[in-house]
């Protein structure tokens, strides 16, 4: 039996932003101060942006962006939307200036990471760039009188035809309707659905499914990036060993101390994440990160977050030897299909950051392009939003909402995801995973938790279907039973039609 929950109505806003990471803050802080903005999130200090150990990829000036563009295309197996990549890399110098003007202090030396031809990675506070940036953005947001920050859980979006009208959220057990002329989803990805993941546990794709349910299009769901150097000293979320460690000289070795990555790619440790993760997955036995080539002094100075994470779990990388690592789900390439300004096919609805499928990452994200994407497209979304028409005077919405209190457990969903949607996939396993998902037993629970898990199950079903339909191997999607095919398409999901292949822009 459904739980019938009363809905209360809040004062309308010009913009509702769902999320608290770099994309959400980039939108909020780039909008005119005359607009009334609501920022809602389950946790304002535990986002993937706060946890980002790498930096921000950006050339110093526009005359040097061609190499960054080429590296992004190469990492994405050239399934990227080239125009969107150009918007990303050409917006990078200005994005860095935006952060500097807000008060972010970057280190004077740029670093190199896997997949990059040159040193173009900006760091702040060593290997804790995300946290350093978010502290500055959070302080600016808190000081902005036009921004209301609220702890809340997105339940569903509200639309009138093909136009967004607001968001329905849960606040302290009550349902509240936030009316708005524009809604921005910056809700992060869905990598929390894997047992081994590096993201906050709340990243299970809720924003993606909320958009899908009101008619937005999802795409590229089969592409999930696994970070090869998740520190395997604890349970998930697994702390990250930043890509920059390998750029600084760290090795990936097996239990005998042998470097094995060159057998699969001449770039070795500096290959892209998809290639390194696959090589580790196929290699017999455990993998380790050897930081001996960097040395204790340089490690302590440049990578204090990594060193602290190791010692927190009782491992000194010099006294105890190389650090155990394993690939973990790290970044959702797929998501809500979004255009040059983060706009979706629903008027007034925008998607920014990891929940968006903007086309910049292709089949695999280049290291340190994630914070950059949130910055560049967050600011582009803000520029688009400020010119939208004013809020409609009255939105009619039911006074109650019925939510089912039954859903499968998260552990049961994750067990299916681990088996069917790992680093390497095949048709029989995908078919068994789909059948297991359909056979899951639902349990009684809090209706809000049930709502999230129901949407997670829905997203997993679409992801398994996308992975089944893409029968070739490309980027972060590897099929052990791959066929040769032209990969230049995107698998799209929309409630109004069956899943379909759409030829990519190039």
Nearest to 326 by CA among 257, 374, 278, 263: 278
Nearest to 362 by CA among 73, 80, 74: 80
**Paired residues of 293 in beta bridges:** none
Strand pairing category for 174-185 and 13-18: parallel
The b/e string for 252-289 (b: 16+ C-beta within 10 A; e otherwise) is: bbbeeeeebbeebeeebbbbbbbbbbbbbbeeeeebbb
Catalytic residue check, 273: yes
- The SS3 of residue 178 is strand
CA distances from 470 to 153, 279, 491, 492 (A): 33, 21, 8, 12
Peptide bond before 296: cis, by omega within 30 degrees of 0?
no
Catalytic residue among 181, 273, 326, 380: 273
* Strand blocks (E) in 265-389: 287-290, 323-332, 335-337, 349-351, 356-357
Report yes or no: 343 and 179 within 8 Å, Cβ to Cβ. no
Helix axes 410-420, 427-438, angle to 10 degrees: 170
Please count the helices (runs of H) and the strands (runs of E) in the chain: 15, 24
The residues that are catalytic are: 273
């Amino acid at each position: 039996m459904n739980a019938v929950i009363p809905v209360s109505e809040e004062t309308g806003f010009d913009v509702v932003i769902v999320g608290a990471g770099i994309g959400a803050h980039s939108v909020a802080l780039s909008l005119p101060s005359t607009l009334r903005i609501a920022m809602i999130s389950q946790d304002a200090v535990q986002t993937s942006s706060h946890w980002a150990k790498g930096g921000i990829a950006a050339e110093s000036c526009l005359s040097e962006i061609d190499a960054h563009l080429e590296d992004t295309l190469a990492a994405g197996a050239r399934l990227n939307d080239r125009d969107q990549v150009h918007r990303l890399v050409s917006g990078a110098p200005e994005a860095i200036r935006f952060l500097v003007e807000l008060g972010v202090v970057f280190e004077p030396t740029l670093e190199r990471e896997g997949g990059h031809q040159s040193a173009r990675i900006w760091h702040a506070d060593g290997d804790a760039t995300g946290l350093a940036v978010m502290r500055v953005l959070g302080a600016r947001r808190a000081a902005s009188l036009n921004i209301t920050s609220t702890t809340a859980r997105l339940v569903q979006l509200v639309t009138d035809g093909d136009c967004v009208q607001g968001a329905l959220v849960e606040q302290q057990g009550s349902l509240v309707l936030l009316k708005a002329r524009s809604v921005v989803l910056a809700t992060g990805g869905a990598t929390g659905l894997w047992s081994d993941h590096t993201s906050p546990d709340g990243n299970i794709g809720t924003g993606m499914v909320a958009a899908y349910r009101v008619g937005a299009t999802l795409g590229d769901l089969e592409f999930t990036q696994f970070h090869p150097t998740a520190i395997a000293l604890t349970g998930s979320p697994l702390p990250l060993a930043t890509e920059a460690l390998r750029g600084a000289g760290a090795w990936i070795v097996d239990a005998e101390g042998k470097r094995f990555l060159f057998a699969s790619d001449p770039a070795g440790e500096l290959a892209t994440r998809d290639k390194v993760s696959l090589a580790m997955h196929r290699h017999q036995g455990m993998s380790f990160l050897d930081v001996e080539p960097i040395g204790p002094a340089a490690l302590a100075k440049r990578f204090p977050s990594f060193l602290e994470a190791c010692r927190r779990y009782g491992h000194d990388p010099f006294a105890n030897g190389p650090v155990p690592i394993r690939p973990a789900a790290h970044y959702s390439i797929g998501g809500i299909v979004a255009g040059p300004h983060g706009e979706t096919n629903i008027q007034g609805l925008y998607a920014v950051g990891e929940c968006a499928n903007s086309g910049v990452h292709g089949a695999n994200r280049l290291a340190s392009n994630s914070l950059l994407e949130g910055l560049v497209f967050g600011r582009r979304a803000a520029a688009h939003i400020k010119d939208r028409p004013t809020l409609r005077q009255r939105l009619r919405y039911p006074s109650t909402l019925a939510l089912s209190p039954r859903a499968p457990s998260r552990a049961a969903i994750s067990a299916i995801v681990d088996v069917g949607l790992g680093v390497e996939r095949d048709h029989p396993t995908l078919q068994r995973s789909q059948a297991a998902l359909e056979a899951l037993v639902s349990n009684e629970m809090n209706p809000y938790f049930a709502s999230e898990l129901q949407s997670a199950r829905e997203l997993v079903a679409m992801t398994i279907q996308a992975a089944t339909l893409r029968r070739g191997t490309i980027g972060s999607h590897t099929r052990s039973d791959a066929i040769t095919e032209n990969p230049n398409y995107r698998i799209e999901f929309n409630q109004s039609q069956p899943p379909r292949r759409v030829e990519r822009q190039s």
